[in-house]
């Protein structure tokens, strides 16, 4: 069974993690920005706001992890 060379596998992992994490963080940032005018007392809006904030946190964790994986941090 053929496996990828280590360098290619590392690059693939970096893309799958880093790019997805960055897109995810930006996407949730946009979504949370869109909620600025929404009713703050609405439980659904509060839940969405919290969820998107956690999405941004997870995205940042993914970006930092990818940078560490590649020896940047």
Which residues would be at the binding site for other proteins (CB under 8 A)? 1, 3-4, 9, 13, 16-17, 20, 23-24, 27, 31, 34, 43-44, 47-48, 50-55, 57-58, 61-62, 64-65, 68-69
Q: What tokens were used for 25?
A: 């963080």
Q: How far is the CB of 40 from other proteins (least distance, A)?
A: 15
Q: How many CB atoms lie within 10 A of CB 21?
A: 20
Query: Hey, what are 61's tokens?
Result: 């964790």
Return the H-helix or E-strand segment holding 28. Answer: helix 20-34
Cβ 59 to other proteins shortest distance, Å: 9
């Amino acid at each position: 069974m053929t496996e990828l060379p280590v360098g290619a596998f590392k690059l693939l992992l970096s893309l799958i993690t880093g790019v997805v994490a960055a897109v995810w963080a930006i996407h949730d940032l946009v979504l949370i920005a869109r909620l600025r005018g929404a009713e703050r007392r609405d439980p659904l809006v509060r839940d969405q706001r919290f969820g998107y904030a956690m999405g941004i946190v997870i995205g940042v964790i993914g970006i930092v992890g990818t940078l560490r994986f590649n020896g940047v941090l």
